[in-house]
Amino acid sequence: MAFEDIKELLAAKRYVELKERIKELQIPDIAEFIDELDTKNAIIAFRLLPKEIAADVFSYLSSERQGEISTLVDEKELIEIMNDLFFDDKIDFLEEMPANVVKRILRNVSEAERNLINHFLKYPDNSAGSLMTIEFVDLKKEMTVRDALEKIRRIGRDREIVYTCYVTDAWRRLEGIVSLKELVLASPDVKVEDIMTTDVIYVNTYDDQEDIADIFKKYGFLAMPVVDQEKRLVGIITIDDIVDVIEQENTEDFQRIAAIQPSEIEYLEANPVMLARKRIVWLMILMISATISGYIIRRYQVAIEAVVALTAFIPMLMDTGGNAGSQSSVTVIRSLALGELKFTDILKVIRKELLVSILVGLGLTCVNFIRIFYLEGYDLSITLTISLTLFLTVVFAKFIGGTLPLLAKKVGLDPAIMASPLITTIVDAVSLVIYFSLAVRILHIVV
């Protein structure tokens, strides 16, 4: 969005007009606008917000900006913002803040809330506990629909989601769920227990967010209950947070496929030293592994000295092998991530990859043969060596690319590490061995 007009109002200190203009914007847009300002103007703009939306806007700000604002506003303002934040947004914010800000905030809340916050901060990253919110509507099964709607009217305004209500017993154990739709459609005198659903799908506080996202995707839920080890309802997870989880998990897979150690920090916010650290590990491992290809070439130095022309085709053979392998590995990695494929499908994968690689290999080899033999005029034995190597490399690359991610999954590794870079390194070495051993035989080179 372009906020030029509002920025001008701010620069000209025309605050009354600015306030009016901001009122027309949606909350996430106001946050985007404040994120774009420098610190001083950001504080001014934030203070101009109507009280009732300030906390909501705050929850959409970048964590950097949240930090600045919470350090620069006075204690009273900070407490007001904190009180108006939804509990999960509060935890998200505190997780990102340095210890002194967290301390300052915890000093200003009741002991009960302090304990609750500390409890939530202890849930591992990526667990249901760290995703959930405590603002849900809980009902009792003895209530009538009229009572239930009455309770929703009373407490609903402060609840993040009221479209699913949770029915709990005296020990706060989850007994069932009932949707607001069902409550509205039911007649007022019916009991909640008569319309509630009892076979509820729930997750535990320590469940992994990726598995939870899979459940949301499968069942199309808007929210899901979270229970502790005693089966007590402790929170709910809502679909908007799951959408973020899905994107985060996808980002991790993209990073692993590109041989980067996963990180949740946005590119523009990350500093170069941190980026370099996340990238150098795999580059180093792969660089050292690539020396195997070097040894193979040195082993066949005599062959190269005899027919130097062979060298010219090394890049093409290595690249094509690497690309053919990545295609298969990324396809399998993605299918595994989407739950479309399991380890037990390995024979189907091998069969499919063999068929595909034969088709693709034949196509590439034909074009390559025509180019090398007819267009570039190499002799038949060299052309044959290169063509055969190309075909065998493609078949091997697709076999390895298709099976390694499945094997990784089987032994509990992330399949995404078996992607392009690692596959390329393996395929390189193998394609060189194929190349030179064929060359030695076909060209009758005495090694």
- The footprint of a second copy on residues 237-296 (CB under 8 A) is 239-240, 242-244, 246-247, 250-251, 253-255, 257-260, 266-268, 272-273, 275-276, 279-280, 282-284, 286-288, 290-291, 293-295
Smallest gap from Cβ 262 to a second copy, in A, equals: 11
For the chain, the distance separating the N- and C-terminal CA atoms, rounded to the nearest angstrom, is: 67
Q: Which is nearer to a second copy, 117 or 394 (CB)?
A: 394
| 374 binding a second copy? (CB under 8 A) | no
Smallest gap from Cβ 447 to a second copy, in A, equals: 14
Interface of this chain with a second copy, residues 139 to 168, rule: CB under 8 A: 149, 152-153, 156-157, 162-163
- Which stretch, 65-73, 218-226, 404-412, 435-443, contacts a second copy (CB under 8 A)? 218-226
Q: Which is nearer to a second copy, 348 or 410 (CB)?
A: 348
- Which stretch, 89-97, 113-121, 228-236, 345-353, contacts a second copy (CB under 8 A)? 345-353
| 201 binding a second copy? (CB under 8 A) | yes
In Å, how far are 241, 286, 350, 388, 402 from 399, measured between CA atoms? 38, 20, 6, 17, 5
> Residue 245: which of 201, 203, 210, 202 has the closest Cα?
210
Helix and strand numbers, DSSP H then E, in the chain:
23, 6
Q: How many CB atoms lie within 10 A of CB 188?
A: 12
Query: What burial letters (b/e) apply to 21-34, b meaning 16+ CB within 10 Å?
Result: bbeebeeebbbbbb
The identity of residue 195, as a single letter, is: I
Total residues at the site for a second copy (CB under 8 A)? Answer: 109
Q: How far apart are CA 343 and CA 335, in angstroms?
A: 11
Q: How far apart are CA 148 and CA 169, in angstroms?
A: 15
Of these, 175, 345, 350, 440, which contacts a second copy (CB under 8 A)?
A: 345
Interface of this chain with a second copy, residues 65 to 124, rule: CB under 8 A: none
Outline where 108-238 has alpha helix (H): 111-121, 128-131, 145-155, 180-185, 192-195, 209-219
Of these, 39, 83, 115, 301, which contacts a second copy (CB under 8 A)?
A: 301
| 298 binding a second copy? (CB under 8 A) | yes
Smallest gap from Cβ 437 to a second copy, in A, equals: 17
Q: Which is nearer to a second copy, 78 or 88 (CB)?
A: 88
Of these, 3, 85, 428, 439, which contacts a second copy (CB under 8 A)?
A: 428
Distance of CA 31 to the CA centre of its chain: 23
What 271-275 contacts at long range (C-beta under 8 Å, 24+ apart), as own/partner pairs, is none
